[in-house]
Amino acid sequence: MRGFRCFAAAVFLASSASLVAANADDPTTAPNAENGLNPIDADTLAHIRDTAMTSGWAYQQLSDLADRIGPRLAGSRGAEAAVAQVAEALRAIGANVTLQPCKATHWVRGLETGELVAYPGQPQGITQHLSLTALGASAATPAQGLVAPVLLVHDFSELAAQRQQVKGSIVVFDEHFSQLLAERGHAGSAYAAAAEYRTRGPSVAAEMGALAVLVRSVGGADYRLPHTGITEWRPGQVPIPAAALTTEDTDLIARLSTQGPVRIKLVLTPQSLPDVDSHNVIADIPGRELPEQVVIVSGHLDSWDLGTGAMDDGMGLTAAMGVAQVLQTLHLHARRTIRVIAWMDEENGSGGSKAYYESVKYQLPTQTAAIESDFGLGRPLGISADILPAQSDWLNPVFAALAPLDITAFDRRKGELGADIGPLAGVPRFAPVLDTRHYFDYHHTAADTLDKVDPDNLRREVALLAVLSFTLAEMPEAFARVPADVNTH
Ligand SMILES: [Zn+2]
């Protein structure tokens, strides 16, 4: 994070361009030879912003996704219903919609129960219920469940130090999500640190002979809700049962474990089925001069199955869809094509992202910029960008247009700005900076529902994405490719 940007230096240029498609010879859109900056008409960007801020269309799409379909786990009927609904909504506003075939993971949740069946001080006849939920790609226990002793560890080094006890046990990873970091604006770092135990912990413990793994939920609130998410196995590895425990129940096991041996009965009956055929939804607003050049603005269509996916990633997806609606309302065609993509299977296998990459990998230079919005429900605060340092000022017109919304933070970073646009090596990538202090309260839980989303935050995000995408698609010269080995920090 580079901190807050100074707007005094923002470059404003003549603002006489019409809101209808600008003429290629229009001097207001010609490059400024003197300072090398890309002039973008300030009035046009203001109209885009204001149209987004007065439109309820994106929130209507979000309501339709969350309330009419609900969960959209890859491979499920909900995911397929979402493909049809999103495609229809984008067709209805006149975008050029195509369905791009892709594969989608097909993992189906089953029964999931946990019980403390033996522990120090246990009164006769008493067992204790554990609140847990299977992780994506988890294997099943035997139908009648399995009973095994608990080995509770805090990190991988503690696991390695106790490797003799791993075989035949249920390993519990007690790695805490740092809400303190999240509240200070570093939720991404807090998530990355804790989620490593969800993604890699079961695989590492399985290699040492664990029967099953429970992972402390990766989240910042204490409402005794388990947070699901994907876990990953090495190629060829035989998966074991793996689930997320609530933070409260992890603490309970931790307290009892200090007093003596603890045994758990675990029943998980998920199924991993063959991948299914599915689709990305792609909706183009064709460019008026360089239609073959593309600016992607995107979110993912699938969601976890416990909640209704309103914030992850209903909010990001419908904000991206809102870009098309705003531009169609204003009859605006930028120089390049603006391509809204609703990605399939982001949460489980990135089937949609892989299919898109395969379709453009021999023509990557046509992909001039890619935006992904997948960071929840918070108020938009700024923009993250993986661009060359020398070109940071090219975003000045964007920040000038968004300043009235207090969208002013600029975060130039190297690295992932979205899982789906990740494979587009060298393409300048962007993401909105959102207030994430409370994103991980609900992330991947049953509480990811429509009521969590403030419609005003969604309008602001549409405004951000619309102003940014239009600018990226309109600038006379696109941002330079970003070499993978350039350190932009
Ligand atoms: Zn997501």
Question: Cα(45)–Cα(400) distance, rounded to whole angstroms?
Answer: 9
Distance between Cα 223 and ligand 1 center (Å): 21
Distance between Cα 312 and ligand 1 center (Å): 5
Are 239 and 373 contained in the same domain? no
Are 335 and 241 contained in the same domain? no
Among 238, 269, 300, the domain boundary falls at 269
**Parent domain of 373:** 4-105+274-474
* Number of structural domains in the chain: 2
The reply to whether 318 falls in a domain is: yes
Q: Is 346 a catalytic residue?
A: yes
Distance between Cα 287 and ligand 1 center (Å): 29
Question: Which residue among the candidates 175, 346, 347, 474 is catalytic per the annotation?
Answer: 346
Distance between Cα 376 and ligand 1 center (Å): 8
Instruction: Tell if the pTM clears 0.95, that is, is over it.
Output: no
The reply to whether 171 falls in a domain is: yes
Among 269, 284, 317, the domain boundary falls at 269
CA-nearest of 260, 160, 165, 268 to 214 is 268
* Beta carbons of 281 and 88 less than 8 angstroms apart: no
Which tokens sit at 427?
């393409």
Among 269, 293, 326, the domain boundary falls at 269
Are 225 and 338 contained in the same domain? no
Distance between Cα 26 and ligand 1 center (Å): 40
* Beta carbons of 37 and 281 less than 8 angstroms apart: no
The reply to whether 94 falls in a domain is: yes
Beta-bridged to residue 4, according to DSSP, are 409
CATH value at residue 469:
3.40.630.10
The reply to whether 483 falls in a domain is: no
Question: Cα(136)–Cα(195) distance, rounded to whole angstroms?
Answer: 13
Are 197 and 220 contained in the same domain? yes
The reply to whether 484 falls in a domain is: no
Residues with CB under 5 A from ligand 1 (ion): 312-313, 374
Distance between Cα 302 and ligand 1 center (Å): 8
The reply to whether 72 falls in a domain is: yes
Are 289 and 433 contained in the same domain? yes
Close Cβ partners of 28 (under 8 Å, ≥ 6 residues apart): 13, 14, 15, 16, 17, 22, 39, 41
CA-nearest of 331, 333, 355 to 342 is 355
Per-residue pLDDT of the chain in tens (489 residues, 90 and over written 9): 222 222 222 322 223 233 333 343 443 444 444 444 556 899 999 999 999 999 999 999 999 999 999 999 999 999 999 999 999 999 999 999 999 999 999 999 999 999 999 999 999 999 999 999 999 999 999 999 999 999 999 999 999 999 999 999 999 999 999 999 999 999 999 999 999 999 999 999 999 999 999 999 999 888 999 999 999 999 999 999 999 999 999 999 999 999 999 999 999 999 999 999 999 999 999 999 999 999 999 999 999 999 999 999 999 999 999 999 999 999 999 999 999 999 999 999 999 999 999 999 999 999 999 999 999 999 999 999 999 999 999 999 999 999 999 999 999 988 779 999 999 999 999 999 999 999 999 999 999 999 999 999 999 999 999 999 999 999 999 999 998 754 433
The reply to whether 210 falls in a domain is: yes
Are 226 and 245 contained in the same domain? yes
